Structure 1
Amino acid sequence: MEYKDKILAIIPARAGSKGIKDKNIIDLNGKPLIAYSIEAAKKSKYIDRIVVSTDGEQIAKVAKEWGADVPFLRPDYLASDTAKTIDAMVHCIETLKEMGDEYDYVVLLQPTQPLRTAKHIDEAIEQLISSGEESLVSISKVKDHPILIRTLDDTGHVVNLLNTSSTQRRQDFPDYYKVNGAIYVNKLNENFNLETSLNDNRLAYVMNEKYDVDIDELLDLKIAELMLTNNLSLKEKERKVKHG
């Protein structure tokens, strides 16, 4: 499938990570974390340019080494704990436009999602453009089903999250999904602005939950290491079977 639209990938990578120091460039199986998103974007059939939006000189250096563009550093007001991703995206898009570089679609790839692949990115882009919709978000089935999730009222009694009986077989539970943070695709028009809520993008791209690892703490990093190692082992076994 071929598209004439120009597509920009933005990888947001703020320097001041809290849970893990220098999270965006921490080593994950021999590569900096951000490299996985850059490599996936580079392998995409549709992405025309990959820009990393960062306020960190070291992150910028690593991003460039792995093949991304860092044409400018994010200003300080977009690097605080209260700054939103959409603010950094709009700043990036508008700055590129001032530099004479405009796009039809933007793909947001958060570097904390190292298991997302070029195949996922391309399928999401194809799904959105073919649909005629303006926005898409990747989702995965939830591991903790909301039928079994409770809140507490003021008296300490449990309150069901869903207004339905939980006395049913697990295999009969209806499917529920969560926004997994791996891929966001938006058409760039007057509807994409500072008020855009990316998590409320309209069209759903469903990803297998085995790709849903969001690096927020060291345990997530260990889980990602195991999954990446297992994936490499499986690919090696498949290669040996294929070539005898």
Structure 2
Amino acid sequence: MSRNGLSVLAVVPARGGSKGIPRKNLCKVAGKSLVERAALVARALTWLDASVLSTDDPEIAAEGRRCGLAVPFLRPAEYASDQATGVAAWRHAWLESEASFGRRFDCSVLLQPTTPLRRPEDVARTLDAMMQGRHLAAATVSPVPGHFAPQKILRLRDGLLEFLHSDGARHSNRQSIPTYYSRNGLCYAAMREAVVDRMEIVESDCVGVVTEGHVANIDEPIDLAFAEFLAQKGMA
């Protein structure tokens, strides 16, 4: 196994201490837990060399094993707090996986369970964009709706509205505003140098992979309901 001659590790990060939705990673969308949905995508990617779950929670670890993910370690508390960065947890999982499997991984994909409606082709396209362009990393992004563009954002100062952007008043029509993008969480890919050596993802050399359509990214209960709606309607 490998992709374009490079060994690939899939990491599914799923800590237990979610606040917006308690036990979030064990919640179900269309009958499958968020962990299971990430595992099913990993299983469909036959070129992966290993797929691991990174968690601090024994119950989530048991769910990962049930779904076919390797759980060779538990994540330490320092990488599972609200203050811990995603790249630090990814780096820890990468190094622990190399120690557990006794091998080095050239690159890795991060499959967050909180974006449960990803497709295997989203992951393959992200990894290929990084490899073919010889970039250090790649991330899927979605266009930002026009009414959320920086030129449209307002703030309150002493109770009065003002534009955040200096020329915001000039942009009454969204057609005059450039297209912006936000990371949607469907997939991150990175070379070992980016995460292990530099502890970076988007900072230096990260190619954006634009995806179309609605993306459910789950932080609050309404996001879970939205994901359920998309899944039931076959819109994922």
TM-score, scaled relative to structure 2? 0.88
Match of 2:171 in 1: 166
Q: How do 1:152-163 residues align onto structure 2 when only pairs under 5 Å count? A: 152-153=156-157, 156-161=160-165, 163=167
Unmatched tracts of structure 2, length 5 or more: none
1:35-91 Cα offsets, whole Å, 9 max, x none, are 111111211243221111001111011111111111111122222222222222111
- Aligned AA for 2:132? S
Q: Does residue 229 of the first structure (1) align with residue 227 of the second (2)?
A: no
Match for residue 109 of structure 1 among 108, 111, 130: 111
Q: Contact conserved, 1:46 with 1:122, CA < 8 A, in 2?
A: no
Match of 2:84 in 1: 83
Percent identity reads 30
Instruction: Tell me whether 175-184 or 57-66 shows the greater mean CA deviation.
Output: 175-184
Q: Contact conserved, 1:8 with 1:105, CA < 8 A, in 2?
A: yes
Counterparts of 2:183 and 2:136 in 1: how far apart (Å)?
17
Match for residue 204 of structure 1 among 203, 208, 222: 208
- Could you tell me how far 1:96 is from its partner in structure 2? 2.2
- Aligned AA for 2:209? Y
Tell me how many residue pairs correspond in the alignment.
230
Q: Secondary structure at the match of 2:114?
A: coil
1:183-216 Cα offsets, whole Å, 9 max, x none, are 1111112x43475343446200111141x21111
Instruction: Tell me whether 11-20 or 173-182 shows the greater mean CA deviation.
Output: 173-182
TM-score, scaled relative to structure 1? 0.86
Q: Contact conserved, 2:52 with 2:97, CA < 8 A, in 1?
A: no
Match of 1:128 in 2: 130
1:123-182 Cα offsets, whole Å, 9 max, x none, are 1111110111111111001124313222234573412436352133x4454321111122
Counterparts of 1:220 and 1:203 in 2: how far apart (Å)?
27
Counterparts of 1:162 and 1:228 in 2: how far apart (Å)?
41
Q: 1:167 to 1:217 in 2, by over 3 A?
A: closer
- Aligned AA for 2:9? L
Q: 1:195 to 1:104 in 2, by over 3 A?
A: closer
Q: Contact conserved, 1:12 with 1:110, CA < 8 A, in 2?
A: yes
Counterparts of 1:140 and 1:173 in 2: how far apart (Å)?
16
1:104-141 Cα offsets, whole Å, 9 max, x none, are 00111111001111010011111110111111111001
Q: 1:2 to 1:137 in 2, by over 3 A?
A: closer
Match of 2:47 in 1: 46
- Could you tell me how far 1:97 is from its partner in structure 2? 2.4
Tell me the C-alpha RMSD between the 2 structures: 2.2
Counterparts of 2:166 and 2:42 in 1: how far apart (Å)?
38
Match of 1:192 in 2: 195
- Aligned AA for 2:83? T
